[in-house]
Each structure stands twice: as C-alpha cells, then as structure tokens.
Amino acid sequence: MDELWPWILLAGLGAFHGLNPAMGWLFAVALGVHRQSTAAVIQAVPAIALGHAVSVAAVAGALIAAGLFVDQDAVRTATGAALVAWAIWHYVFGHRRRVRIGMRVGLAGLAFWSFLMATAHGAGLMVLPALMPLCLTESPLRETTGSAAMTLAAIGVHTLAMLTATSIAALAVYRWIGLEILRSAWINVDVIWTLVLLCTGFGLLLY
C-alpha cells in the first residue's frame, strides 16, 4: 500500500484538477456553446489536458533537478513553504489576475491558456508531495534516468485522470445538465483549492 498511495494520490489530484472549472471544463463548455458543436467540446479537452501536463511537468522537472543536488529534507521544507505562500497569494490576488482569451482561440492557444491557468493555480506544486516518494528516494529510481522515467509515468497517470474528469464534466454539463446549474448549485472551488494548497504545505513542513 505504501507503494500504491502516491499513484492513487496522483490520480485523485488529477480528477480534482479536472473537476475544477477554472482548469478548463467550463471553457470547453463555453466553446461548445459558442460554436454550437459537441465536437468543439471534445476537441478542446485534450488541448486543455496537454497544457496542464506541461505545467505539471515543468514543476516536476525542477523537483528532479533540486533532488539531485539538494538534501531531501531541504527540498521538502522548501516545497511546503512554497505551497503555503502560493495558497496565500492565490487567496489574496488569484481572482484578480484571470487570463483572458476569446472564443475564437485555436487548440494551440487553448493549450497555452491551460498551461498558464495550471501554473497560476499552482497545480504542479500541489502534486509534488505525491511525486517526492517516487523521485526522491534512496533507490535505483533516485538516478536521473530512473527519476525521469518515473516522473513521466506519474505525469501520465495524473493527466489521464484529469483528462477523464474534464471530459465527463464538460460533456455532462454541455449535453445534459446545462449551464443553469451554475446559478443554483455553484461550489466555490477556489476556496477548496486554496485550502488544499495550504494543508498540503503545512503537511510537508510538519512531516
């Protein structure tokens, strides 16, 4: 079970990221409504997932680089502090700095938007606690090639879960539920997101 929990956490975080409307499914629905096309919704989701994956991969690459030269405890402490700081920044300033993009955007532009949104929300930082046991352990996986392969596999699991959750949410809202539900059953996911960042950061600092 100790070996499985990082993968379960990665998949769970991927699903959580996918269900967060700020990570893209709401944009995919809006794009479908604007173009009056289910195909537009379906085509948008992989582009959104790709941008998200690149953002997470950038942070994961920094983790590997830091782990090769810096003590693991120092990496854990720095990550925890960064998560707490990011949670505070996101709560105070995050809602004021939304990335604006029009409905005429192509798939490349949508992927870039997704990358910026995931980076601004600290999505990559959030998955670091799950990546640490896989990439910062004293084992053959600690070597550069092993760590890189393990990280790519971890990003793949996370992205697949995010892609699945985003697809289900976008298609369900577009085809069956409708945007009216956002007026009556809206949940402030930003607050939940901030709390998860904060709790994860303190968890690493107190570990």
pLDDT digits (tens, 9 = 90+) for 146-188: 577 888 999 999 999 999 999 999 999 998 887 777 666 667 7
Pick from 12, 40, 14: nearest CA to 28: 40
Distance in angstroms (rounded) separating the CA atoms of residues 52 and 167: 14
Quick one: pLDDT at residue 2? 63
Distance in angstroms (rounded) separating the CA atoms of residues 207 and 195: 18
What's the longest Cα–Cα distance across the chain? Answer: 53
Burial of 182 by CB count in 10 Å (0-12 exposed, 13-18 middle, 19+ buried)?
Answer: middle
The neighbour count for residue 104, using CB atoms within 10 Å, is: 9
Quick one: pLDDT at residue 85? 94
- More confident of the two residues 95 and 81: 81
pLDDT tens digits for range 84-110: 999 998 888 876 655 566 667 788 889
Structural domain total, the chain: 1
Where in the sequence is the domain holding 151, given as residue range(s)?
A: 5-206
Taking 3-state DSSP, the helix, strand and coil percentages for the chain, each rounded to the nearest 5, stand at: 85, 0, 15
pLDDT bracket for residue 141 (50, 70, 90): very low
pTM of this structure: 0.88
Quick one: pLDDT at residue 90? 84
Quick one: pLDDT at residue 165? 97
